[in-house]
Amino acid sequence: MIIYCAGPIRGDKQYQSFYKEIIKYVNSLGHTALSELNEKFKSAFPLNDGQIFKRDIKWMESSKFVIAETTSSSTGVGFEIAYSLYNLNKPVLALAKKGEKSVSAMVSGCNSGILTVKIYSSSEEMKKIIEQYINEFENN
């Protein structure tokens, strides 16, 4: 299954390691994690902002759903969540590390029926949440 993974790229990179862990875990489950930080999809040449936008929109369109790491605020991740929910009608799993920065009110306050917000306290808990979400998605 193709899954778009969203996380901080240019903004607050303090929690980018969690995002990279999500990508690796999705791949380890036998799925394809679409992300600029997935080594499988590194561009052979630098992309300009317009090319990145077009690529990421195509990736979101081709995915079954989105997993977003939302521990740190990121304008890009917020855009990807909103675009997926309201333009593509794609489900989104938004993850955030417990006890860190609070999730944006624009995410935690969103009442979309296809947005799931989960807080995790450890890498193992994060992986369980992801695996459970994927399994539920596959079984529906």
Record the pTM.
Answer: 0.93
Structure tokens at 24: 């690796």
Q: What is the pLDDT of residues 95-123, one digit of tens each?
A: 999 876 667 888 888 999 999 999 999 99
CB 114 within 8 A of CB 68: no
C-alpha dist (Å) from residue 17 to 8, 12, 43, 54, 131: 10, 11, 21, 25, 19
Domains, the chain, ordered by start: 2-139 (3.40.50.450)
Residue 78's pLDDT is 92
CA distance 113 to 128: 21
Q: What is the pLDDT of residues 11-60, one digit of tens each?
A: 666 677 888 999 999 999 999 999 988 777 777 788 999 999 999 999 99
